[in-house]
């Protein structure tokens, strides 16, 4: 029997939000405090300028905070970069690494993503490691091979102390309104689970696998019912408390 996995719903605010956006966090926290509370782990990854304030605003609520990226080094002459230790100091519990926008816009390699994940683990953070194919790769029939290569190169060998999260994000579905079929999602998530089990044995059975491609209130319930989908990495819908709460409720 498959191990029971607590769902995780993480909001990626990307380059959106100023101090005024924290009102949505307070609104969401109030909604999550109703009844018995959420049946999943809830994380918001705001811009770095808001991380400390959001962490404090969410303290004592059902919301945890996370960073959107980190540098692989502990410190040094890296102007404009932020280390995993700095994120932890600002209250983060998680950090996204290897998001498709970082891989594409900043030419991040699998090796760099792995080093960032290792830095996150060393700082006591849980890395959310992103993998996914482009539309051309999907049409070319190599989506499975692309994701397998990214997993092999991006996931550290050692992570048992804090654990890791894998987010599958079909790049062609991010921000486009397009969504893979339920069968496509199931096939990819089953494949990712199989690869984790082959590489990590029992440890691979407990890894949360998130779906991260245009998840919205309208499609969240159907996607989250899929076996081996253990939550979502949510973009635009996480900016509004009502929309994000609907997705969390579906989980």
Number of alpha carbons in the 13 Å side-chain half-sphere of residue 250: 24
Residue 128, both tokens: 């959310």
Domains, the chain: 40-250 (3.20.20.70)
233 pairs with which residues across the strands? Answer: 10
Q: Coil, strand or helix: which one is 11?
A: strand
The residue from 24, 118, 137, 169 that is catalytic is 169
pLDDT score of 1: 34
The residue from 99, 101, 133, 189 that is catalytic is 99
Active site residue 169: yes
Answer whether 0.75 is exceeded by the pTM.
yes
Active site residue 106: no
Q: Are 95 and 127 in contact (CB under 8 A)?
A: yes
Helix and strand numbers, DSSP H then E, in the chain: 11, 8
Please write down the long-range contacts of 217-220, taking CB distance under 8 Å and 24 or more positions apart: 217/243, 217/246, 217/247, 217/250, 219/179, 220/246, 220/247, 220/250, 220/251
* Rounded Cα–Cα distance for residues 55 and 161 (Å): 23
* Rounded Cα–Cα distance for residues 107 and 95 (Å): 19
pLDDT score of 216: 93
Residues of the chain with pLDDT under 50: 1
Number of alpha carbons in the 13 Å side-chain half-sphere of residue 58: 26
DSSP states along 198-236 = HHHTHHHHS-EEEE-SS--HHHHHHHHTSTT--EEEESG
Residue 8, both tokens: 């995780």
* Rounded Cα–Cα distance for residues 43 and 51 (Å): 12
Q: Which residue has the tokens 């956006």?
A: 21
């Amino acid at each position: 029997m498959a191990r029971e996995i607590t769902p995780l719903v993480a909001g990626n605010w990307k380059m959106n939000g100023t101090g005024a956006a924290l009102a949505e966090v307070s609104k969401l926290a109030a909604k999550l405090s109703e009844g018995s509370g959420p049946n999943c782990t809830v994380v918001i990854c705001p811009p770095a300028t808001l991380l400390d304030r959001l962490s404090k605003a969410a303290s004592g609520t059902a919301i945890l905070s996370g960073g959107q990226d980190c540098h692989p080094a502990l410190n040094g002459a890296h102007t404009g970069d932020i280390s995993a230790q700095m994120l932890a100091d600002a209250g983060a519990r998680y950090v996204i690494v290897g998001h498709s926008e970082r891989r594409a816009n900043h030419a991040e390699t699998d090796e760099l993503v792995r080093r960032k994940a290792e830095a996150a683990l060393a700082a006591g953070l849980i890395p959310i490691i992103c993998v996914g194919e482009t539309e051309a790769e999907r049409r070319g029939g190599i989506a499975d091979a692309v994701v397998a290569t990214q997993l092999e190169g991006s996931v550290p060998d050692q992570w048992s102390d804090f654990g890791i999260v894998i987010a599958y994000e079909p790049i062609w579905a991010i921000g486009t309104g397009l969504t893979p079929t339920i069968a496509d999602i199931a096939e990819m998530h089953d494949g990712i689970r199989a690869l984790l089990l082959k590489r990590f044995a029992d440890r691979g059975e407990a890894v949360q696998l998130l779906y991260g491609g245009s998840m919205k209130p309208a499609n969240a319930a159907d996607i989250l019912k899929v076996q081996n989908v253990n939550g979502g990495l949510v973009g635009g819908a996480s900016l509004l408390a009502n929309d994000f709460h609907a997705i969390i409720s579906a989980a």
